[in-house]
Structure 1
């Protein structure tokens, strides 16, 4: 592992904070006045500025914004009978997501994660509003505009969330924090999925979801931006050991863009993470449009999406806890363990997915749309649940691996941007393939192949770069792009 003096200079100093530290260890400020919790009914609740509290607030933002978007996506075709408009909107969405994610890390560092995070719900809510409008006037242009705005908002929201969730906790707690973040988010998605299930329970045909579903999701997404205003400034967050999150000094926007290039120079092995990122969102059109929408009637689509979200929730929490379980060994060993568990899960689930994939044919409707009361539906819903489990594990493992490579929020915001850039690129491509009518078997096979193949690259990354710790004496010492100004 290289020392700090070997690293390229990213910014010249860290942002000064008004509080005076009680001690300095290297370049890290240590505070003895760690925020105390609050005693309520015999229980001690964590302080507002404690990392765990901030993690929960960020998770609620994600729950209300991205969680409700996932509810909409899991219905298939944006809740419409014909997925063409939804596929085109999603192609636009992920194309703009990809383009703006290229600079989202720089924007996040320049504006600060709190402001960046608060923009998310506005763009996402426009997409839900556009489907609400489409239900009444079939205005495709508004849906495409909503998709574009959602993509811009998503680029900034995901980067802000990623940099905070990965930099706030101590090293030993990173898996737990990622698990809490995704666990709460996916649990909220499960609750959110009840809305379309209840609202459309009487619809036993293919059908489109009703207006009240879109209105409810629209309001909840807007509330996410309101909750984001309660996120504390990262410079005020003090960890349990007294260390404070290092916040990069605001520099010129041009310098922030240069940091993206320097991030790759600093950690060239991060390139091995790009195929994994590219494959991360490839699942959406196949699972939502080509499986859920193809086999189920409307109420069963909504009911199955609830179980998909439940699978995400369970696996995100489970893997997050396992990756921090010290009895499994050091962090390096746990990384290999997590890789093995995820690789096994992917292949086991997709082996089960071969049978419905062979039974589906684009342009040829099934003889009978499955209803929740059908005996055959149970097996298909179970498979859809495990598809959700794969996604929950995939996302959790991604953030844990990125967090294992650095403790620096500047670096992590750029890594998070990389993750979303390539994920959005893959999603834009696969939605365009779905629009072009690629066979369901090809969609299924490409998804399985990308997941399994990209895992090989991650295995090499783990072998080369994941260490048991990035710390010396509990204080981050390397993998940081913060450099103090050199003496004249």
Structure 2
């Protein structure tokens, strides 16, 4: 159910953002709205776990989902009036809503599954969620197939996204609270007494002194930082309008494949949970580095630092001219899925209690969003794409040894407990 909610709301939002510039020819309004979004998200991502502990899943999720509809509506308005104020304000509002939604999602995804199947449940969620991006990519591809490259996406594209997002808000009311969930092995989720404001404020402040959370900061910062480069400077810069929609279908489809693969590795590759974490992080580090090497080769060839971009690529183009950048963008989707699933698995391995994990995942989303806010302004200020690529590569590379340290020091091998739960 939480996968379906995110299919309709963040999934469609991802498809909208993935077109580059929110589907607009001029990226300025989108970049500024996304900066406002992720600035607010950085605050309410951290606070979201505490809010979830106070309000519970229904109010938290419904309030969060509703803001996605408003945000998309602002671009429908922008299509006609070209005033970016509404887009920027709605972006800030969505930042609040996204903080609530993702804190609730993180608490549900990491605390509801059995402890020895968290990777599997994360991959199931990630697959359903990213199907939203696949369907969302199909919408602009079909509705803008014959539109010129100089045009923004049509009104119908935004209306279709808004319909899906409204459905997601309604579906959020069907999510069960932890106290009513019984796992497939017969165990129950932690039954929490919903907290109060003073307790949550104190517990959230403690996170900034928690060594486990501090080790996660570089991974959290980088995990949405690379979106700006991928969406605007690869998909948005190299491909024409209709092809960007098609590319998004494969980008988010690649995420489904990546999440399943890393979920299996994190749950089934070895009996030892600590060893599974070490192998999973090492595998992501190896694949991630290879993908960034491909990105470097592509950027050298298609550098826009001197405004020397070639004619926009179309999916009907034959040969390596289209195939190379297309495969790279597909691999960027794989990288996003395996990287974020890996981080969620590590967070989920630190505890089983819903109340604790809601704060941990809220902290992760808050730091992640602060990084994204900076990244969108980096692009607005015309920082060369090559510089953006190098910074992204460095940030993800720093994350791997820190996460390995966290797994070695903080993740317990509780195989006996897991086997007893399974019985």
Q: Shorter-chain TM-score: which interval?
A: over 0.9
Partner residue, 1:465: 410
Gaps of 5+ in 1: 1-56, 477-488
1:169-208 CA-partner distances (Å, limit 9, x unpaired):
1111111100100011112321221111111111352431
Give the equivalent residue in structure 1 for 2:222: 279
Match runs of 1:235-384 below 5 Å: 235-263=179-207, 268-325=211-268, 327-358=269-300, 359-362=302-305, 364=307, 366-375=309-318, 376-384=321-329
Alpha-carbon distance, 1:462 to partner: 1.3
State the alpha-carbon separation in 2 of the partners of residues 276 and 63 from structure 1: 24
The answer to whether the Cα contact below 8 Å between 1:270 and 1:461 also exists between their aligned partners in 2 is no
Distance 2:315 2:275 in 1: 43
Q: What is the aligned partner in structure 2 of residue 166 from structure 1?
A: 110
* Partner Cα separation in structure 1 for residue 141 and residue 323 of structure 2: 16
Distance in 2 separating the partners of 1:102 and 1:303: 34
Q: Scaled by the length of structure 2, what TM-score is found?
A: 0.95
Structure 1 residue 214, shift from structure 2 partner: 0.5
Query: d(CA) in 2 for partners of 1:373 and 1:367?
Result: 16
- C-alpha displacement at 1:62, in angstroms? 0.6
Cα distance between partner residues in 2 of 1:444 and 1:273: 21
Distance 2:145 2:82 in 1: 23
Distance 2:260 2:43 in 1: 31
Tell me which of 348, 373, 376 is aligned to 1:403.
348
1:357-388 deviations in whole A, cap 9, x for unaligned? 12222461523111111121121111100000
From the two aligned structures, give the one with the greater helix fraction: 2
Q: Matches of 1:473 and 1:275 in 2, distance apart?
A: 30
Q: CA deviation at 1:58?
A: 0.7
Matched, 1:217 2:161: yes
Cα distance change on mapping 1:207 and 1:241 into 2, 3 Å: same
Q: C-alpha root-mean-square deviation of aligned residues, in Å? A: 1.7
> How far off its partner does 1:328 sit?
2.6
Alignment map for 1:431-442 (pairs within 5 Å): 431-442=376-387
Aligned pairs, number: 418
Answer whether contact 1:193 1:306 (CA < 8 A) is retained. Answer: yes
What is the alpha-carbon distance in structure 1 between the residues aligned to residue 203 and residue 264 of structure 2? 32
Normalised by the length of structure 1, the TM-score is 0.83
Distance in 1 between residues matched to 2:129 and 2:252, nearest whole Å: 10
2:362 aligned with 1:421, yes or no? no
Q: Distance in 1 between matches of 2:414 and 2:176?
A: 27
- 1:392-432 Cα offsets, whole Å, 9 max, x none, are 11111111111111001111001101110110010011111
| Aligned-pair CA distance for 1:318 | 1.5
Q: Separation in 1 of the partners of 2:341 and 2:313?
A: 32
* Counterpart secondary structure, 2:9: helix
2:116, 2:418 within 8 Å by CA — same for their partners in 1?
no
Are residues 188 and 65 of structure 1, via their aligned partners in 2, closer, same or farther at CA, if it must alter by over 3 Å? same
Query: Following TM superposition, by how much is the alpha carbon of 1:469 offset from its aligned partner in structure 2, in angstroms?
Result: 2.2
Distance in 1 between the 2:127 and 2:418 partners?
A: 31
Greater radius of gyration (CA): 1
Report if aligned partners of 2:51, 2:60 keep a CA contact under 8 Å in 1: yes
Instruction: Give the gaps of 5 or more residues in structure 2.
Output: none
* Partners of 1:346 and 1:386 in 2: CA distance: 9
Partners of 1:264 and 1:96 lie apart in 2 by 18
User: Quick one: distance in 2 between partners of 1:471 and 1:147?
Assistant: 47
Q: Does 1:227 pair with 2:171?
A: yes
- Aligned to 2:174, the other structure's residue is in SS state coil
1:7-35, CA deviations, whole angstroms, 9 ceiling, x for partnerless residues? xxxxxxxxxxxxxxxxxxxxxxxxxxxxx
1:393 aligns with 2:393: no
Q: Which residue of 2 aligns with 1:179?
A: 123
CA distance in 2, matches of 1:367, 1:400: 41
Residue 229 of structure 1: CA displacement? 0.7
